[in-house]
């Protein structure tokens, strides 16, 4: 237990330092620039480097990926049924947003720092993050578009994927890293040195920005539903993923640990971006991101101790 706590305390300490700095010495105009640096430069460099060092064969583990997807489906179903029958939410688009809050994790700002710190540049982490972005964010937006328009053409599907994934530097950096690995590409030394300088900044700056971005506002959403969706995200999702891994015979420790820890993370801020874009569940999504991040100090510690 002590070793597990010591492994993650520095991560949450960086989040705390970011929160403290935002309220003391960090000018609010500086935060967007720091976030842009993390999102467009540091994290993509880290993921590109990690992906190109992996063998493509190591990135595909059918039972583990199937368990990850099954965990998403089961968790989304639990969230939808609970919101529908306990909190009387019956609008399909609203239910999709609640499901998205319950299954999309903070891969970029917490998942990468946590799993890379504990497991190293694991192929499992890269593969699961890629699948999570593709299936959860891409899938949710396709569902929302289809529900709003009652049908979707191929052009509309492409436009939705373009907005949600194909312009994402994190997604593209991972894909380009995999292509570099697959084709055995060797970069010029200047590029290697630049990437090696950028990549180490990703973890501390990402966590610092996450802390600086936390904002507490008056809660207007039902506390019951807020607590329900946070509980589903932090407890039900990793539990169902763990059970899915057990049922599908996932035995590789790296894949098992990465799958559970990445699903145990708090709701990712990208959910709020989707909520604002579709004008659905906006304030509640923002609050779920903030409070799930705070509560995850305890729950992530529990899952780290359990898995390691």
Domain ranges of the chain: 2-307
- Can you give the pLDDT at residue 163? 63
CA distance linking residue 208 with residue 190, whole number of Å:
28
pTM: 0.82
180-195 mean pLDDT: 91
Encoding tokens for residue 9?
């305390």
Phi, psi of 305 (to 5 degrees): -65, -40
pLDDT surpasses 80 at 193: yes
- Can you give the pLDDT at residue 249? 96
Choose which CATH entry (1.10.10, 3.30.720, 1.20.1530, 3.40.30) describes domain 2-307.
1.20.1530
- pLDDT top residue among 148 and 231: 231
Range of weakest confidence among 23-32, 79-88, 152-161 = 152-161
Across-strand partners of 267? 105
pLDDT surpasses 70 at 8: yes
- Can you give the pLDDT at residue 239? 97
- Highest averaged pLDDT of the listed ranges 11-20, 60-69, 174-183: 60-69
Encoding tokens for residue 28?
């609010």
- Highest averaged pLDDT of the listed ranges 71-80, 137-146, 292-301: 71-80
Across-strand partners of 105? 267
């Amino acid at each position: 237990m002590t070793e597990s706590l010591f492994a993650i305390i520095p991560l949450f300490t960086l989040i705390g330092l970011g929160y403290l700095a935002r309220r003391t010495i960090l000018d609010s105009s500086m935060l967007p620039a720091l976030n842009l640096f993390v999102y467009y430069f540091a994290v993509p460099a880290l993921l590109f480097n990690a992906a190109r060092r992996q063998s493509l064969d190591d990135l595909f583990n059918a039972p583990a990926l199937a368990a990850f997807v099954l965990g998403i489906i089961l968790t989304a179903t639990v969230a939808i049924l609970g919101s529908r029958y306990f909190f009387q939410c019956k609008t399909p688009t609203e239910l999709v947003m609640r499901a998205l809050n319950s299954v999309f994790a903070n891969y970029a700002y917490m998942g990468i720092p946590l799993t890379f710190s504990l497991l190293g540049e694991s192929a499992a982490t890269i593969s699961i993050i890629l699948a999570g972005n593709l299936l959860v964010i891409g899938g949710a937006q396709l569902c929302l578009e289809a529900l709003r328009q009652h049908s979707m053409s191929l052009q509309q599907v492409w436009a939705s994927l373009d907005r949600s994934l194909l312009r994402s530097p994190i997604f593209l950096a991972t894909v380009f890293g995999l292509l570099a690995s697959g084709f055995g590409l060797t970069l010029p030394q200047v590029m290697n040195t630049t990437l090696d300088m950028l990549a180490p900044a990703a973890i501390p700056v990402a966590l610092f920005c996450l802390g600086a971005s936390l904002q507490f506002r008056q809660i207007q959403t039902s506390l019951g539903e807020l607590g329900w969706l946070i509980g589903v995200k932090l407890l039900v999702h990793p539990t169902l993923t763990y059970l899915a891994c057990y049922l599908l015979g996932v035995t590789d420790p790296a894949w098992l640990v990465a799958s559970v820890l990445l699903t145990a993370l708090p709701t990712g801020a990208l959910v709020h971006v989707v909520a604002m874009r579709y004008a659905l569940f906006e304030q509640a999504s923002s609050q779920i991101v903030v409070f799930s991040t705070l509560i995850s100090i305890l729950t992530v510690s529990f899952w780290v101790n359990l898995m390691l």
